[in-house]
Chain A
């Protein structure tokens, strides 16, 4: 949260004028949206008669009811505590979201028949590719960061060339280049290792910058104290600098991991059986693309939320430790 002022302005939901304006705006909006041919129009049948024939009156009546419910909802939520506000607004948005997907006319039996395979094969592959890649990328990043901070011209040049190249190319292109390009040189590489290699190199380049910033943020007094006690470079780095840089490195690395989880969908183009690949191929056979894509989307979302949760736990752990 931002640092709040002790003087609190009036809550907008306590001002009748603003709420009145909002009601007018909501009614206009929902009327123009033309809701009489939706399920809401169906609910209004006792008032407006046959929804299809109700015309502007039907739209207006439906819009009025929806607008009033909308504004009452906002006013009521405005009165409750922050925590419950968050929960209720989340649930309402989620409901609207799912209702929106539901309006596509999805066939749930089809999803049910495929979802276990998607999870056991797709989620598993996605997770292990991401986990291996982020681990390798961290190692690349430490080496890259030290090289970028070194006074050795060769090391700096190689590291900055590496980060420049792999940050400058679309990840999709890197996947293709490694999978199709390496065999040209005589190294035939499987799809999974190619995917892992591409993700590692790309994310290693981004994370090099994160690690470099983390290492640089440590006060030079720590280096001096270590040196004055006769610690060598490796010892200083391993026992003094990196442990202190970790709390600064871990939150953005967690972000990178979440981003990688989603970017791992790009390796589907070379036929790795991860979540995205399965979503496309399973849907193809029965022309049920939407079902599979939405399912995969929700699975990605759930995975990201889990990771976000874990990340915030780790951040809290480091925050309490530093006191």
Chain B
């Protein structure tokens, strides 16, 4: 098996006295599609945010694309370029048009020319199926459209792995599927993905592995079929019972 693209070994993190991550061991290989789920406050968002060092961990080792993450690292920008991140609240740049949002990264970081950046932007905008919105501002788009733009914005950087931090949690119910469709397509194209989500249908459809977290630890990790049909841990059973009963 090839070198893992993400590796967490014995990671611990505290907020003051509160331990947010407890001895996390977790590996992602190229092409893996991993869904992380768990009750709110279980540390899943914290975990995914440590992967591009938006949050710092205190103990253990996190390696992304061969680079070890620590507070004094010089090439954090390079690591972050390679790990596209999609946020719960989209975090588009509201003062820039959709096209400018997408061109910013390629132009300012990848140093592409305007023409190249525009080509890249339109390519991914078509991929998320909203090229006609290119000249609008984020505030003029629906939540689902904004989140698709946010995905396209990350893809424009040509990342090696995509991190999704509850991408559909802030959306109205009727808009969830348009975002999930884009993510499913992305998975089919072979993108490496780590996805924090409560969308169990998505997990069943595309995940290679499902990771269940509770109270800061990884309680159970399994391929989706066994995870849903035959959960081992009592906490997993309780969680699945709660979210699948309706």
* CB-based contact B92/A230 at 8 Å: no
* A residues less than 8 Å from B91 (CB atoms): 219, 221-222, 224-225
Interface-central residue, A225, A239, A321, A322, by most chain B CB under 10 Å = A225
Tell me which of B84, B87, B137, B140 contacts A221 (CB under 8 A).
B87
Interface residue? A232 (CB, 8 A) = yes
* CB-based contact B87/A227 at 8 Å: no
Contact with A along B79-101 (1 / 0, CB 8 A): 01101110101011111000000
Interface residue? B105 (CB, 8 A) = yes
Contact with B along A205-240 (1 / 0, CB 8 A): 000000000000001011011011111100100011
Q: How far is the CA of A15 from the CA of B83 in the complex (A)?
A: 71
Interface residue? B20 (CB, 8 A) = no
Interface size class on chain A is: 10 to 19
Main SS class of interface, A: helix
* CB-based contact A225/B92 at 8 Å: yes
Interface residue? A17 (CB, 8 A) = no
* CB-based contact A229/B153 at 8 Å: yes
The smallest C-beta distance from B149 to any residue of chain A, in angstroms, reads: 12
Interface residue? A244 (CB, 8 A) = yes
* CB-based contact A228/B92 at 8 Å: no
Q: How far is the CA of A243 from the CA of B96 in the complex (A)?
A: 10
Interface residue? A285 (CB, 8 A) = no
Interface residue? B77 (CB, 8 A) = yes
Q: How far is the CA of A161 from the CA of B99 in the complex (A)?
A: 43
* CB-based contact B94/A229 at 8 Å: no
Interface residue? A81 (CB, 8 A) = no
Contact with B along A39-63 (1 / 0, CB 8 A): 0000000000000000000000000
Tell me which of B77, B87, B108 contacts A225 (CB under 8 A).
B87
* A residues less than 8 Å from B139 (CB atoms): 322-323
Known: A239-B108, A243-B95. A232 touches B77 (CB 8 A): yes
**A-B CB proximity, top 9 nearest:** A225-B91, A228-B85, A221-B91, A230-B81, A230-B77, A229-B105, A230-B109, A230-B80, A243-B95
Known contacts A224-B87, A228-B80, then 7 further A-B pairs from the complex at CB < 8 Å, ordered by chain A residue: A222-B93, A227-B54, A227-B80, A229-B157, A230-B80, A230-B105, A243-B95
The residues of B with any CB-CB pair to A shorter than 8 Å are 52, 54, 77-78, 80-81, 83-85, 87, 89, 91-95, 104-105, 108-109, 137, 139-140, 153-154, 157
A-B contact pairs, 22 of them (CB 8 A): A219-B91, A221-B87, A221-B89, A221-B91, A225-B85, A227-B52, A227-B54, A228-B85, A228-B87, A228-B154, A229-B80, A229-B81, A229-B104, A229-B109, A229-B154, A230-B77, A230-B78, A231-B108, A235-B108, A239-B108, A240-B93, A323-B137
